[in-house]
Chains A and B, each alone.
Chain A
Amino acid sequence: MSISQMNFFERVVFLLKTFGKSYVSGAGYTFLIALVGTFFGLVIGFIIGIIQTIPVKKTDPLVKRIVMKIVNYILLAYVEVFRGTPMLVQAMFIYYGFSTLFKINLDYMFAAFFIVSINTGAYMAETVRGGILSIDEGQTEGAQSIGMTHFQTMVYVILPQALRNIMPQIGNNLIINIKDTCVLFAIGVTELFSRAKSVAGAYYTYFEAFTIVLIVYFIMTFICSRVLRLIESKMDGPESYDLATTDTLAYTSGMANYPFKNRRMK
Chain B
Amino acid sequence: MDSPILEVSHLAKSFGDNLVLSNIDFSVRPKDVTCIIGASGSGKSTLLRCINMLETPSSGNILFHGEDIMRQGFDVPAYRAKVGMVFQNFNLFNNMTVLENCIIGQRSVLKRTKAEAEQIALEFLDKVGMSPYIKAKPKQISGGQKQRVAIARALSMTPEILLFDEPTSALDPQMVGEVLSVMRKLAAEGLTMLVVTHEMAFAKDVSTHVVFMQNGVICEEGSSDDIFVHPQKQETRDFLARFLER
Please report whether the interface of chain A is mostly helix, strand, loop or mixed according to DSSP. loop
Q: Are A149 and B95 in contact (CB under 8 A)?
A: no
Closest to A147 in B: B81
- CB nearest neighbor in A for B101: A142
Beta-carbon contacts under 8 Å, A139-176 to B? 139, 141-149, 152, 156-157, 160-161, 164
Are A161 and B54 neighbours in the complex by a CB distance under 8 Å?
Answer: no
A84: chain B residues at CB < 8 Å are none
How many angstroms between the C-alpha atoms of A159 and B68 in the bound complex? 33
Residue count of chain A within 8 Å CB distance of chain B = 33
Contacts of B206 in A (CB 8 A): none
8 Å CB interface, B99-145 against A: 104-105, 108-110, 131-137, 139-142, 145
Q: Which residues of B contact A149 (CB under 8 A)?
A: 77
Number of interface residues of B (CB under 8 A): 42
Task: Name the interface residues of B129-166: CB closer than 8 Å to any CB of A.
Answer: 131-137, 139-142, 145, 150, 153-154, 157
A-side residues, CB < 8 A to B, are: 57, 59, 61, 138-139, 141-149, 152, 156-157, 160-161, 164, 237, 240-245, 250-251, 254, 256-258
Binding site for A on B (CB under 8 A): 52, 54, 56, 72, 77-82, 84-85, 87, 89-95, 97, 104-105, 108-110, 131-137, 139-142, 145, 150, 153-154, 157
Task: Other than A59-B56, A143-B93, A146-B104, give 18 A-B pairs with Cβ distance below 8 A.
Answer: A138-B89, A139-B94, A142-B87, A142-B90, A146-B81, A146-B153, A146-B157, A147-B82, A147-B109, A148-B108, A156-B93, A156-B104, A157-B95, A243-B133, A244-B135, A251-B133, A257-B140, A257-B141
Which 6 residue pairs spanning A and B have beta carbons closest together?
A147-B81, A142-B91, A146-B105, A145-B85, A138-B91, A147-B109
